[in-house]
Amino acid sequence: MSSIFTSARYTGSNASQGIAALLTGPMQAPRLLVVADDATWAAARAHVEPQFTNSTNATFYSLGQRVRASKILADALAVRAGEYDAILAVGSGTINDVCKFAAFTANKPYAVVATAASMNGYSAANASLEVDGFKQSFTARPPLAVIADSAILNAAPKRLTRAGIGDTLCRTTVEADMLLSHLLLDTPYPREIFDTLRQHEETLLTGLMKARESEAAYIECLMTALLDAGDAMTTYGSSAVASQGEHMIAHTLELKYGSELLNILHGELIAITTLTMSQFQHRMLLGSSVVRRMDYPNEQFVRQFGKRHEPSLFEAYSKKLLSDEQVTAVNARIEKHWPDIIKQLGDIMIATNTLERALIHSGINTTPSQIGLADERYRFATSYAHLTRERFTFLDLAAMNVRRMK
């Protein structure tokens, strides 16, 4: 397997024993930097420390409490990592992203001990870091190994597991957006990747009550699905196979109202935006569309997002603006093939009521008001999210549509 991929997964009960195998095998590290925060180290220490070999000089470094994944922190960790042979991250999203980028920058191998089945970025080749309060995606390398011990995962706060469910079930809206773009614009659609990602969904959807009871088999299935999604992003070369319209809505909310979302987990927000996007997609498929060419002056981006973000957002949005010829071609495809487009999309989408019941059974919030978001803020995000990325989604089709949805 290519070195850009995570080469080993240690999952299930006693998976922590994989640390010893790793340290005597592909990641021999006489000087090992073990990075965690106070909470993740408390959760995993009893499983991690006994696995260190006699030849490993492990130095523990805590990032403290309530850590945020900032590039400043990752850069500082990269400097510290230069004194060691490898990094062992102990944590989930924040810890993994900081360590992943630090290891990449310092050119050091790293592995991660997952402390919660909470997100799909463990094995992805990118790190999500804050710069001036704004999340950006940075190139990195996946870990050499992911250690996902069910004893640790099962003991994680249930809220984290629910966030992982939200970060997984967005597959339905992601794939629908990518397939729509493919059918209208001939953009890439990696069907084989999505075939893999769909294979866990029946178990996840039918077993959500068990997730609330921390059944080990369910959480192992969830963790496998999350790791598969990370591998999918690495295989595809971008986050596109795990992030489309639903993430654009979430991204817009974070961009505009991030200070109001500091206590909301990424997967919790994605659960809500996925349900919104699913409702939106199904509603659009009840009718048809006639699209017009769209242009937005720079002033529109300044007005909606401010001068600081205007250059990057306008540059990204400009990449998907359609020419007059492309608009004509899209309208011709819609007129000729819309019934077939509806069928193809329906074959890969989860029904909205099925998705909603599953999320409610998981115990996760499903409406903006439940996380304290005012209706007008959420409406802003759904109205302008299409301006924030170069990916063509149902949000763009709606913005270009000159017919009213049913």
**DSSP for residue 83:** T
Say whether pTM exceeds 0.85: yes
Place of tokens 């909603």: 356
Handedness of CA 187, 268, 276, 211 (dihedral sign): positive
Whole-angstrom Cα distance, residue 152 to residue 155?
5
281-303 tens-digit pLDDT: 999 999 989 999 998 888 889 99
Confirm if 36 and 44 have CB atoms less than 8 A apart: yes
Cα(275)–Cα(245) distance, integer angstroms: 11
> What mean pLDDT do residues 66-93 have?
94
Q: Is the pLDDT of residue 380 over 60?
A: yes
The values of phi and psi at residue 23, to 5°, are: -75, -20
Looking at residue 94, its pLDDT comes to 93
Taking CA atoms, 114 is separated from 36, 109, 267, in Å, by 11, 17, 16
- For residues 207-219, average pLDDT: 71
Judge contact between 242 and 233, C-beta under 8 A.
yes
**Cα distances (angstroms) measured from residue 166 to each of 184, 200, 346, 356, 372:** 28, 14, 21, 11, 18
pLDDT band at 1 (very low <50, low <70, confident <90, very high): very low
The side-by-side arrangement of strands in the sheet containing 8-12 is: 8-12, 145-149, 110-114, 86-91, 31-36, 57-62
Rg (alpha carbons) of the chain, rounded to whole number: 22
Residue pLDDT, tens place only, 322-376: 999 999 999 999 999 999 999 999 999 999 999 999 999 889 999 999 999 999 9
**CA 130 centroid distance within chain:** 15
At 22-61, the pLDDT tens digits run 888 888 888 999 999 999 999 999 999 999 988 789 999 9
pLDDT of residue 131: 85
Q: Among 235, 245, 225, 251, which residue's Cα sits nearest to residue 125?
A: 235
Tokens representing 12? 């299930």
Mean pLDDT for 165-191 is 97
Look at 116-130, 132-146, 318-332 and tell me which has the smallest mean pLDDT. 132-146
Q: What count of Cα atoms within 13 Å lies in the side-chain half-sphere of residue 247? A: 24
